[in-house]
Amino acid sequence: MRRTALLASAALLTALLPLGAAGAAAGADDPAPVPVDRFEGEVPFASQPAEGIFTWGGDSDDAPALRLAERPDAPEGAKVLAGTYDISGYGGFTHDYAADRPAHDWSAHRGIRLWWEGHATGSRIPFEIKDGGADGEASELWTTSFTDDFTGWKQIELPFADFTYRTDYQPVGGIDHVLGLTQMWGYALTLPTGAKGAFALDGVELYGRADQALRAAVSTDAAVVPVTEGGTAAVRVTVATTGAAPLDQPVTVAYTTGEGAATPGKDYTPVSGTLTFPAGTASGTSRTVRVSTLKDRLAEAAETIPLQLTVTGAKAPAETPRIVVDAHGLPYLDSRLPVQKRVADLVSRMSLAEKAGQMTQAERGAMSAPGDIASYALGSLLSGGGSVPEPNTPEAWAKMVDGFQLRAQATRFQIPLVYGVDAVHGHNNLAGATIMPHNIGIGATRDPALAERTGAVTASEVRATGVPWDFAPCVCVTRDERWGRSYESYGEDPALVKSMETVIQGLQGRPDGSDLDRDDKVLATAKHFLGDGGTAYGSSTTGTYTLDQGVTEVTRKQLEDIHLAPYQDAVDRGVGTVMPSYSSLDIEGDGKGAVRMHARGDMINGVLKDRMGFDGFVISDYNALDQLPGSYPQQVTASVNAGVDMMMVPYSYTKFTAALTDEVKAGRISGKRIDDAVSRILTEKFRLGLFEHPYADTRNASAIGSAAHRDVARQAAAASQVLLKNSGDLLPLKKNQKVYVAGSNADDIGNQTGGWTISWQGSSGNIIKGTTILQGMRNAGGDVTYSKDASAPTGGYDAGVVVVGETPYAEGVGDVGNGHDLRLSAADRAAVDKVCAAMKCAVLIVSGRPELIGDRLGAIDALVASWLPGTEGDGVADVLYGRRPFTGQLPVTWPRSEQQLPINVGDASYDPQFPYGWGLTTLRKAPAGGALTLRALGLAATVAEHAHAAGTGRELVTQARLIVQQRIAGRGMTAAAAAPFADADHLLLTGRYGAAVDRLTAAYRAA
């Protein structure tokens, strides 16, 4: 039966209903119900763009199995929709209307209803409707639910007034956030998880006359209205209609002050009355209710005054607005006192529940009930990767964070939230932000001052959106490039990682924390403590990951020398927070075996806090608590007692706070431990100036993505480029050369920026404002022809540039063996082969780690490790065309084969394609004289070392390196030359300049 036939006449539609249903549900003047699904076969099992019913799920076995089943007890017709399910992630089914026809108008009806066969499971069944947009899969999702708490058939009515906008997922990021009901594309139903089940439903239909509350709604300007004691609170009450039409019926709002923490007559003057909005009132009209507070000159915590609103003729506000008389006169509010005294005073006043709240961090997407911020006294919110406001603009970010901060003002002590984001290479969640090279590229620059400047740009852009906390930098030492987080590391040498930790000063300012309250600084996070870069291949037990979140097996000396070393430097630099790793640590001989880092008190309490003197707070990783052994209360106790101060529990914050308070009451977590954790958290909040200025300072917002900021990113992109081979001095290119450009990554800003860009995993394509490498070459004035797959004719060109490499990934999703390898794609290999066979060619590898290129190296004239350079492709073009010299050096060893992995500087067996520290340069010649010059440089470097003349020492080692690289490049890399060459760079970074030249001399002799 076609949809047009179903809508043919009201009489027919009424006749289709069961006799009991039609009479029971319809009012005297209600329109006839309109069927959506009768499940008699008129709607097929199909998917977009055709109309149909289709299933979906989180993985291949989560989608339910559906069938049309003949049932003698069918509530409507002869058949019902029946199915079975066994869902571990999420799953359900959808009915979408055909995308090639107009959307349906449901606005004349009160709601949607269906017959459901109950099994008394107690399960909540989410039901969504699809409003606006281009089609059923590009619409806005609005949701409600019903509970299976009955047996047998029951008609479930879902009034449209009960549907709320989904905040955790929107396929198009949201459209207008208004349930218009005039352009509807169907519905979806989500089935229960965790246990096998069966279901049946029938007779989905629209019913009743439209509730006029759907066309008119009353709102207040804020759910929380702070006021200083003695002041007058003004609550603006506004009426608005769908489509901004004038009211067609009057709306009244009766108001009265209710019972809260404030005492009427003592703290405020009670008020009551009625606001009237007559028929014809313009949409957006406001009236104001004023409540005067009284001054008693006593020091007090904040007190609340609920303003009860009773609305007739429109939808009432979702929440009762609360006037809050600000806390005043208490010592912790006195900014003249030392932070330590302010913290002690505040902690002494807090209840256990309030302390537990401060130790809790929730995801912004979980705030479907924003009042929970005050109800649970939450200490922090975060935006996970891709968790952004709509629209994704600086203004929307600031408004969102301010809205959450306002909620915190409704708590007794008005402790502000500290909002955090993963800004790991710029404010990478924000569209239009300046995106830096990923850390592996920053490590390749060997420029601590430039690293600091990239951190400063990131901090300025993050803080300008109201966010004061950055979960960066990652100070891991990557020891196996098969790891999907390799690009988050500055390199394989702890000395290199330490040298790049100047980024902490870029983010935070001075080590004593005195700059944290500036409008261009943020709290930094050293992560992931401890050993996350050293996990053994195949040791991960997380899904299909191979390395990430696995086990790091080390001796005590290896742990100290490699993985712990960067953390002491971070602590010395005053880093405000530290995040433990998902991974486990297995120290040879300690008898503990592999223990998850979130439960290693010997490392968090013993080493980080006690031995190293870390005085900030420890924040857990995302849902890391759930990976610990034991029951949930045991997981909480193990992690908190190990030294984790704040728990990132994105969607389970209520569960965590309850478990934490229970464990304290049971004596398994001490009150002293809780006070220590809360004191650490509050200390950073005071240092950030949040008590005095909790809201966004957007004065620097105009600089987000500015030319000045992008120039820093451009310099970093240029300095990160590592020239691995340059036969015949092909690079730099000349602007008068005709250049043929090919490859998958030449003109793809998404591939160029990598993971953690706009979304957690990143994505290919035009996802963010920036300049691709191809655009940069054109901007540089190059005579460029582009053919992505090299299918265009290749004759008549002076040189070719083939830009190849990886597509985006993040964390263990990118582990080699988890759908990834270190080889170029077939398309990239074909492009390299075709271009390099036709002309002199340079190959640029855009990737988060080395790619295996040895089998094609002979046919390639110039090879560049471009890493993931960020949004500024102009920086890559700068070195290609000689505006800047190539100066980058390998931050990791470039292997000949995957079988060599892991391979690192200092290994007993070391025979790489290119050694750690390798990097040819342009626009600068190597000194003449060979061995004699090296000897002189070595003597001078030793003198510089003894004189602590770091700048002179580094320059002398650089000159020696140029001599050795020139010799090796002409003769070919050997294991005998590679090992001492790599050692030299490590020695340089540790200030041993004379020894570095000695090792370079050994490499020269071996070449």
Tell me which residues are annotated as active site.
Answer: 621, 811
> CB under 8 Å to 97, separation ≥6 — which residues?
3, 51, 103, 104, 136, 184, 185, 186
Residues 6+ apart with CB under 8 A from 194: 87, 88
310-327 per-residue burial string, b: 16 or more CB within 10 A, e: under 16: ebebbbebeeebbbbbbb
Tokens standing for residue 919: 């990097």
Q: Name 718's Cβ contacts closer than 8 Å, sequence gap at least 6.
A: 875, 876, 878, 879, 883, 884
What letter would DSSP give residue 899? G
Q: How far apart are CA 931 and CA 921, in angstroms?
A: 20
Report the alpha-carbon distance of residue 127 to residue 189 in Å, rounded. 5
Q: CA 388, 393, 398 angle in degrees (round to 5)?
A: 80
Name beta bridge partners: 153: 117
Q: Which residues contact 36 (CB under 8 A, 6 or more apart)?
A: 95, 112, 186, 187, 204, 205, 206
Sign, Cα dihedral of 583, 589, 590, 594: positive
Rounding to the nearest 10 degrees, give the CA dihedral for residues 216, 222, 223, 228.
Answer: -150
Kindly report the three-state secondary structure assignment for every residue of 764-823.
CCCCCCCECHHHHHHHCCCEEEECCCCCCCCCCCCEEEEEEECCCCCHHHHCECCCECCE
Contact 734, 780 (CB under 8 A): no
How far is the C-alpha of 235 from the C-alpha of 505, rounded, in Å?
43
In one-letter notation, the amino acid at residue 522 is V
Q: Are 814 and 485 in contact (CB under 8 A)?
A: yes
**Cα distances (angstroms) measured from residue 150 to each of 146, 489, 677:** 11, 55, 46
Pairing type for strands 232-241 and 216-220 reads antiparallel
Segment 243-248 long-range contacts (CB within 8 Å, at least 24 positions apart): 243/180, 244/283, 244/284, 245/215, 245/283, 246/279, 246/280, 246/281, 246/282, 246/283, 247/216, 247/277, 247/278, 247/279, 247/280, 247/281, 247/283, 247/313, 248/212, 248/215, 248/279
Taking CA 984 as the corner, what is the angle to CA 980 and CA 990, rounded to the nearest 5 degrees? 145
